[in-house]
């Protein structure tokens, strides 16, 4: 079974209606990004950060996976072993049915202990709100998010997955967020690489650019990889 490794960014989730902060002039849903998405911001005002991610979780409950997410899952039924490495913190890939998803920047629907980063809990849809005083199994919790100024612990496992790809695909990312943008460097020489984005960044020679939105580009890629018309 061939291994398809897909690196996804904000562009794929934006088509489901999830706002991104990189196009908002330093604001994310009217909050200064460094106030709600940095280590310093969390230390300075943890209550604000908890409130911000409570709001993001509620917003996530009101959106659905789009055709790009679903087509990635469909490829599993066409004989591909699909591994998704995402910069996104939403759970839309999982909700679309993808079975191998690595989150580089954490997961919105999870929290972790403030005194032990290995203690992680998934929040229930009916209990999405947390505060600095929230206790789970005797531990105070924080969003399970990799803030700016923090290490990216899942990057090394992601490089190993990228190095095993038979086909590598990049969807909806500007290729300026590191270390995620460096994944391309771990793809073996000669492996086909596709880059789907309506405003693609400069890429090395040999990368096939599909200048399209995530959904349009995935429909084109689906035909390339399967030789079939898309089911969506």
Between CA 5 and CA 72, with CA 12 as vertex, the angle to 5 degrees is 40
Determine the Cα–Cα distance for residues 129 and 125; give it in Å rounded to an integer. Answer: 10
Between CA 66 and CA 75, with CA 70 as vertex, the angle to 5 degrees is 150
| Residues forming the active site | 105
Determine the Cα–Cα distance for residues 182 and 184; give it in Å rounded to an integer. Answer: 5
Determine the Cα–Cα distance for residues 89 and 146; give it in Å rounded to an integer. Answer: 9
Determine the Cα–Cα distance for residues 27 and 35; give it in Å rounded to an integer. Answer: 10
Q: Cis bond leading into 179, ω under 30°?
A: yes
Determine the Cα–Cα distance for residues 215 and 162; give it in Å rounded to an integer. Answer: 22
Determine the Cα–Cα distance for residues 63 and 88; give it in Å rounded to an integer. Answer: 14
Token couple for 51:
């409130």
In order of 108, 146, 147, the CA distances from 35 in angstroms are: 17, 14, 10
CB contact at 8 A, 179 and 155 = yes
What are residue 121's DSSP bridge partners?
111
């Amino acid at each position: 079974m061939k291994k398809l490794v897909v690196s996804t960014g904000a562009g794929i989730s934006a088509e489901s209606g999830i706002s991104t902060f990189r196009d908002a002039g330093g604001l994310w849903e009217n909050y200064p990004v460094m106030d709600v998405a940095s280590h310093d911001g969390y230390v300075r005002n943890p209550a604000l950060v908890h409130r911000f991610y409570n709001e993001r979780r509620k917003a996530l409950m009101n959106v659905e996976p789009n055709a790009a997410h679903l087509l990635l899952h469909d490829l599993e039924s066409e004989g591909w072993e699909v591994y998704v490495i995402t910069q996104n913190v939403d759970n839309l890939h999982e909700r679309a049915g993808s079975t191998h998803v690595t989150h580089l920047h954490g997961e919105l629907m999870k929290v972790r202990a403030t005194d032990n980063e290995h203690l992680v809990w998934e929040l229930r849809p009916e209990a999405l709100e947390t505060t600095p005083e929230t206790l789970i199994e005797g531990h105070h919790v924080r969003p399970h998010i990799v803030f700016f100024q923090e290490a990216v612990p899942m990057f090394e496992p992601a490089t190993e997955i990228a190095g095993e790809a038979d086909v590598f695909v990049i969807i909806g990312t500007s290729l300026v967020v590191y270390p995620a943008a460096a994944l391309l460097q771990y793809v073996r020489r000669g492996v086909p690489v596709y880059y789907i984005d309506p405003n693609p960044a400069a890429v090395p020679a040999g990368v096939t650019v599909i200048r399209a939105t995530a959904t349009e580009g995935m429909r084109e890629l689906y035909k390339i990889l399967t030789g079939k018309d898309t089911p969506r």
